[in-house]
Amino acid sequence: MAKFSIKSELLLIFLIILILVQPNLSEAQVATSEGDPDLDAIEAELLKSSPPEPKPNEKVNNEPEKKTNFKYSDLKYLAPFSQVTVIQKRYLPKTNRMQLNLGGNYLTNNPFFQGVGLIGRLGFYFTEYLGLEVSAMKLNINPKQVTQDLSDFHKVKTATLVSSDSYTGVDLIYSPFYGKMTWLDRAIVPFDTFITLGLGSTKTTTSKSAPTLHLGLGQTLAINKDLVFRWDLSSNNYSVDVDQISSMTSGSTGAAKKQQFNDLFLGIGVSLLFPGAKYR
Protein backbone atom coordinates (compact mmCIF):
# COMPACT_ATOMS: atom_id res chain seq x y z
CA MET A 1 0.00 0.00 0.00
CA ALA A 2 2.90 2.37 0.77
CA LYS A 3 4.42 1.89 -2.68
CA PHE A 4 1.08 2.47 -4.39
CA SER A 5 0.56 5.64 -2.38
CA ILE A 6 4.00 7.05 -3.31
CA LYS A 7 3.46 6.32 -7.01
CA SER A 8 0.04 7.87 -6.89
CA GLU A 9 1.44 10.97 -5.26
CA LEU A 10 4.24 11.25 -7.83
CA LEU A 11 1.79 10.84 -10.69
CA LEU A 12 -0.45 13.48 -9.21
CA ILE A 13 2.47 15.93 -8.79
CA PHE A 14 3.57 15.33 -12.44
CA LEU A 15 0.08 16.04 -13.73
CA ILE A 16 -0.10 19.27 -11.71
CA ILE A 17 3.30 20.44 -13.04
CA LEU A 18 2.28 19.59 -16.62
CA ILE A 19 -0.94 21.56 -16.26
CA LEU A 20 0.91 24.60 -14.89
CA VAL A 21 3.72 24.57 -17.49
CA GLN A 22 1.59 23.99 -20.68
CA PRO A 23 0.00 27.53 -20.89
CA ASN A 24 3.43 29.12 -20.53
CA LEU A 25 4.80 27.02 -23.40
CA SER A 26 1.89 28.00 -25.67
CA GLU A 27 2.43 31.70 -24.94
CA ALA A 28 6.15 31.37 -25.62
CA GLN A 29 5.51 29.63 -28.95
CA VAL A 30 3.05 32.36 -30.02
CA ALA A 31 5.47 35.12 -29.01
CA THR A 32 8.34 33.41 -30.81
CA SER A 33 6.33 32.99 -34.01
CA GLU A 34 5.16 36.62 -33.96
CA GLY A 35 8.57 38.14 -33.34
CA ASP A 36 10.67 35.90 -35.63
CA PRO A 37 11.95 38.01 -38.62
CA ASP A 38 12.67 34.92 -40.69
CA LEU A 39 9.08 33.78 -40.48
CA ASP A 40 7.89 37.26 -41.38
CA ALA A 41 10.11 37.31 -44.51
CA ILE A 42 8.89 33.89 -45.60
CA GLU A 43 5.29 34.96 -45.13
CA ALA A 44 5.86 38.13 -47.18
CA GLU A 45 7.40 36.14 -50.06
CA LEU A 46 4.47 33.75 -50.04
CA LEU A 47 2.02 36.67 -50.26
CA LYS A 48 3.92 38.13 -53.25
CA SER A 49 4.02 34.91 -55.20
CA SER A 50 0.40 34.03 -54.63
CA PRO A 51 -1.99 35.63 -57.22
CA PRO A 52 -4.51 38.12 -55.88
CA GLU A 53 -8.04 36.98 -55.53
CA PRO A 54 -10.11 38.20 -58.51
CA LYS A 55 -12.78 40.75 -57.85
CA PRO A 56 -16.36 40.14 -58.90
CA ASN A 57 -16.84 40.52 -62.70
CA GLU A 58 -13.05 40.86 -63.14
CA LYS A 59 -11.34 38.88 -65.91
CA VAL A 60 -8.56 36.60 -64.73
CA ASN A 61 -5.33 37.12 -66.73
CA ASN A 62 -4.55 33.46 -67.12
CA GLU A 63 -7.91 32.73 -68.70
CA PRO A 64 -7.56 31.97 -72.44
CA GLU A 65 -8.97 34.69 -74.72
CA LYS A 66 -11.95 33.85 -76.81
CA LYS A 67 -11.10 33.90 -80.51
CA THR A 68 -13.63 35.06 -83.07
CA ASN A 69 -13.88 33.29 -86.38
CA PHE A 70 -13.36 36.28 -88.75
CA LYS A 71 -13.93 35.79 -92.46
CA TYR A 72 -13.08 38.37 -95.10
CA SER A 73 -16.12 37.26 -97.06
CA ASP A 74 -18.27 38.77 -94.29
CA LEU A 75 -17.15 42.26 -95.38
CA LYS A 76 -19.78 42.20 -98.11
CA TYR A 77 -22.45 42.50 -95.43
CA LEU A 78 -21.15 45.90 -94.26
CA ALA A 79 -23.23 49.01 -94.95
CA PRO A 80 -22.35 50.62 -98.30
CA PHE A 81 -20.62 54.00 -98.27
CA SER A 82 -23.76 55.58 -99.70
CA GLN A 83 -25.34 55.08 -96.28
CA VAL A 84 -22.43 56.70 -94.40
CA THR A 85 -22.54 60.48 -93.96
CA VAL A 86 -19.71 62.65 -92.66
CA ILE A 87 -20.74 66.12 -91.54
CA GLN A 88 -17.88 68.62 -91.28
CA LYS A 89 -17.44 72.31 -91.90
CA ARG A 90 -15.14 73.40 -94.71
CA TYR A 91 -11.70 74.35 -93.49
CA LEU A 92 -11.70 77.28 -95.93
CA PRO A 93 -15.13 78.98 -95.82
CA LYS A 94 -15.97 81.27 -98.75
CA THR A 95 -19.54 82.48 -98.18
CA ASN A 96 -19.76 86.30 -98.21
CA ARG A 97 -16.01 86.57 -98.69
CA MET A 98 -13.98 88.18 -101.47
CA GLN A 99 -11.02 86.57 -103.19
CA LEU A 100 -8.11 88.57 -104.63
CA ASN A 101 -5.93 86.49 -106.93
CA LEU A 102 -2.59 87.42 -108.50
CA GLY A 103 -0.68 85.01 -110.69
CA GLY A 104 0.99 84.21 -113.95
CA ASN A 105 -0.42 82.80 -117.19
CA TYR A 106 1.37 80.84 -119.88
CA LEU A 107 0.03 80.43 -123.44
CA THR A 108 0.53 76.74 -124.14
CA ASN A 109 -0.84 75.96 -127.61
CA ASN A 110 0.17 78.71 -130.05
CA PRO A 111 2.62 77.23 -132.60
CA PHE A 112 4.06 80.60 -133.71
CA PHE A 113 4.15 82.76 -130.58
CA GLN A 114 5.04 82.22 -126.96
CA GLY A 115 3.18 84.25 -124.40
CA VAL A 116 3.84 84.74 -120.70
CA GLY A 117 1.96 87.28 -118.65
CA LEU A 118 0.22 88.36 -115.48
CA ILE A 119 -3.40 87.93 -114.48
CA GLY A 120 -5.42 89.50 -111.69
CA ARG A 121 -8.82 88.41 -110.43
CA LEU A 122 -11.30 89.78 -107.91
CA GLY A 123 -14.24 87.58 -106.93
CA PHE A 124 -17.09 87.41 -104.46
CA TYR A 125 -18.74 84.20 -103.20
CA PHE A 126 -22.47 84.22 -102.51
CA THR A 127 -22.37 80.66 -101.13
CA GLU A 128 -19.76 77.96 -100.67
CA TYR A 129 -20.52 76.78 -104.21
CA LEU A 130 -21.27 79.91 -106.27
CA GLY A 131 -19.36 83.11 -106.89
CA LEU A 132 -18.71 85.84 -109.44
CA GLU A 133 -15.25 86.86 -110.61
CA VAL A 134 -13.75 89.69 -112.71
CA SER A 135 -10.40 89.04 -114.37
CA ALA A 136 -7.83 90.98 -116.41
CA MET A 137 -4.80 89.50 -118.19
CA LYS A 138 -1.84 91.03 -120.03
CA LEU A 139 0.61 88.92 -122.06
CA ASN A 140 4.12 89.50 -123.30
CA ILE A 141 4.09 87.99 -126.82
CA ASN A 142 7.29 87.01 -128.61
CA PRO A 143 7.61 85.11 -131.91
CA LYS A 144 9.00 81.60 -131.70
CA GLN A 145 12.06 80.59 -133.66
CA VAL A 146 9.98 79.02 -136.43
CA THR A 147 8.15 82.34 -136.96
CA GLN A 148 11.40 84.29 -137.04
CA ASP A 149 12.86 81.86 -139.55
CA LEU A 150 9.83 82.22 -141.85
CA SER A 151 10.34 85.97 -141.93
CA ASP A 152 14.15 86.14 -142.06
CA PHE A 153 15.11 83.24 -144.30
CA HIS A 154 12.02 82.49 -146.37
CA LYS A 155 10.69 86.06 -146.65
CA VAL A 156 7.23 84.88 -145.65
CA LYS A 157 4.87 87.58 -144.46
CA THR A 158 3.48 86.68 -141.03
CA ALA A 159 0.59 89.16 -141.01
CA THR A 160 -1.96 86.34 -140.76
CA LEU A 161 -0.27 84.90 -137.69
CA VAL A 162 -2.34 86.26 -134.81
CA SER A 163 -2.11 85.80 -131.07
CA SER A 164 -3.99 87.23 -128.12
CA ASP A 165 -2.36 90.17 -126.35
CA SER A 166 -4.73 90.82 -123.44
CA TYR A 167 -8.07 89.70 -122.00
CA THR A 168 -10.74 91.05 -119.66
CA GLY A 169 -13.89 89.23 -118.61
CA VAL A 170 -16.44 88.18 -116.01
CA ASP A 171 -16.92 84.55 -114.90
CA LEU A 172 -19.34 82.54 -112.85
CA ILE A 173 -17.48 80.25 -110.41
CA TYR A 174 -18.97 76.90 -109.40
CA SER A 175 -17.17 74.81 -106.73
CA PRO A 176 -18.87 71.39 -106.60
CA PHE A 177 -16.07 69.39 -104.95
CA TYR A 178 -13.93 69.84 -101.88
CA GLY A 179 -11.80 67.49 -99.86
CA LYS A 180 -8.38 66.85 -98.30
CA MET A 181 -5.13 65.37 -99.53
CA THR A 182 -1.80 64.52 -97.91
CA TRP A 183 1.47 66.24 -98.74
CA LEU A 184 4.37 63.73 -98.51
CA ASP A 185 2.65 62.16 -95.46
CA ARG A 186 3.60 65.28 -93.48
CA ALA A 187 0.58 67.57 -93.83
CA ILE A 188 -3.11 67.47 -94.71
CA VAL A 189 -4.06 70.03 -97.36
CA PRO A 190 -7.75 70.99 -97.86
CA PHE A 191 -8.65 71.75 -101.46
CA ASP A 192 -11.56 73.01 -103.57
CA THR A 193 -12.16 72.14 -107.23
CA PHE A 194 -13.90 74.82 -109.27
CA ILE A 195 -15.29 75.42 -112.77
CA THR A 196 -15.46 78.86 -114.38
CA LEU A 197 -17.65 79.98 -117.27
CA GLY A 198 -17.90 83.51 -118.57
CA LEU A 199 -17.67 86.12 -121.31
CA GLY A 200 -15.03 88.70 -122.08
CA SER A 201 -13.02 90.52 -124.73
CA THR A 202 -9.67 89.53 -126.24
CA LYS A 203 -7.33 92.07 -127.80
CA THR A 204 -5.01 90.52 -130.38
CA THR A 205 -1.54 91.44 -131.59
CA THR A 206 -3.19 93.11 -134.59
CA SER A 207 -4.89 95.59 -132.19
CA LYS A 208 -8.29 94.11 -132.95
CA SER A 209 -10.73 93.06 -130.21
CA ALA A 210 -13.08 90.11 -130.28
CA PRO A 211 -15.83 88.76 -128.01
CA THR A 212 -14.52 85.74 -126.10
CA LEU A 213 -16.05 82.71 -124.47
CA HIS A 214 -14.02 81.62 -121.44
CA LEU A 215 -14.10 78.16 -119.84
CA GLY A 216 -11.81 77.06 -117.00
CA LEU A 217 -11.09 74.28 -114.52
CA GLY A 218 -8.84 74.53 -111.48
CA GLN A 219 -8.17 74.00 -107.78
CA THR A 220 -7.39 76.05 -104.70
CA LEU A 221 -5.13 74.47 -102.05
CA ALA A 222 -5.43 75.98 -98.58
CA ILE A 223 -2.27 77.36 -96.97
CA ASN A 224 -4.35 78.70 -94.08
CA LYS A 225 -7.91 79.99 -93.60
CA ASP A 226 -7.22 83.18 -95.56
CA LEU A 227 -4.45 82.30 -98.06
CA VAL A 228 -4.62 79.70 -100.84
CA PHE A 229 -2.50 78.46 -103.71
CA ARG A 230 -4.44 78.42 -106.99
CA TRP A 231 -3.87 76.74 -110.33
CA ASP A 232 -6.19 76.60 -113.32
CA LEU A 233 -6.37 75.56 -116.95
CA SER A 234 -8.52 77.87 -119.06
CA SER A 235 -9.59 78.20 -122.68
CA ASN A 236 -10.42 81.41 -124.58
CA ASN A 237 -12.45 80.97 -127.76
CA TYR A 238 -12.85 83.95 -130.09
CA SER A 239 -13.11 84.92 -133.76
CA VAL A 240 -11.22 87.84 -135.26
CA ASP A 241 -10.82 89.35 -138.72
CA VAL A 242 -7.38 88.65 -140.17
CA ASP A 243 -5.98 90.34 -143.26
CA GLN A 244 -5.48 87.97 -146.17
CA ILE A 245 -2.53 88.02 -148.60
CA SER A 246 -2.45 87.00 -152.25
CA SER A 247 1.14 85.80 -152.06
CA MET A 248 3.33 84.65 -149.21
CA THR A 249 5.89 87.31 -150.12
CA SER A 250 3.83 90.16 -151.61
CA GLY A 251 2.03 91.36 -148.53
CA SER A 252 -1.56 92.20 -147.66
CA THR A 253 -4.28 92.64 -150.23
CA GLY A 254 -6.50 94.60 -147.86
CA ALA A 255 -9.13 91.88 -147.68
CA ALA A 256 -10.02 90.38 -144.27
CA LYS A 257 -11.41 87.02 -143.26
CA LYS A 258 -12.76 85.92 -139.89
CA GLN A 259 -10.74 83.15 -138.25
CA GLN A 260 -11.45 81.09 -135.17
CA PHE A 261 -8.87 80.92 -132.37
CA ASN A 262 -8.68 78.85 -129.22
CA ASP A 263 -6.02 79.88 -126.69
CA LEU A 264 -5.20 77.49 -123.86
CA PHE A 265 -3.64 79.02 -120.71
CA LEU A 266 -2.02 77.47 -117.66
CA GLY A 267 -2.24 79.74 -114.64
CA ILE A 268 -0.54 79.59 -111.25
CA GLY A 269 -0.98 82.09 -108.43
CA VAL A 270 -1.89 82.93 -104.85
CA SER A 271 -5.28 84.13 -103.57
CA LEU A 272 -6.19 86.10 -100.46
CA LEU A 273 -9.69 85.71 -99.01
CA PHE A 274 -11.13 88.52 -96.91
CA PRO A 275 -12.66 89.41 -94.50
CA GLY A 276 -11.30 86.76 -92.11
CA ALA A 277 -13.23 83.57 -91.36
CA LYS A 278 -15.47 83.87 -88.28
CA TYR A 279 -15.34 80.21 -87.25
CA ARG A 280 -12.61 77.65 -86.71
Instruction: List, run by run, the mean pLDDT of 10-residue segments along the chain (280 residues).
Output: 60 72 52 57 64 57 60 68 60 90 96 94 96 97 82 62 93 94 87 96 92 97 93 96 65 72 96 82
Query: What integer pLDDT is reported at residue 165 of this predicted model?
Result: 94
Amino acid at 134: V
Residues found in the chain? 280
Per-residue pLDDT, 278: 72
CA distance 267 to 102: 10
Alpha-helical regions (H) of the chain: 2-35, 37-49, 145-152
d(CA 175, CA 218): 10
Domain 98-274 has what CATH class? mainly beta
Compute the distance between CA of residue 137 and CA of residue 202 in angstroms, rounded to an integer. Answer: 9
Q: Please report, to the nearest 10 degrees, the dihedral formed by the alpha carbons of residues 266, 124, 170, 223 taken in order.
A: 0
Question: Could you tell me the pTM of the whole model?
Answer: 0.65
CB 226 within 8 A of CB 274: yes
Q: Is 207 left (phi over 0), alpha (psi -120 to 50) or beta?
A: left
Residue-level pLDDT at 2 = 47
Q: How far, in whole angstroms, is CA 42 from its chain's centroid?
A: 62
pLDDT of residue 79: 62
Around 3, how many Cα atoms within 13 Å sit in the side-chain half-sphere? 0
* Residue 100: predicted pLDDT: 97
pLDDT of residue 39: 61
CB 236 within 8 A of CB 212: yes
Beta-bridge partners for 203 = 166, 209
Q: What is the pLDDT of residue 157?
A: 63
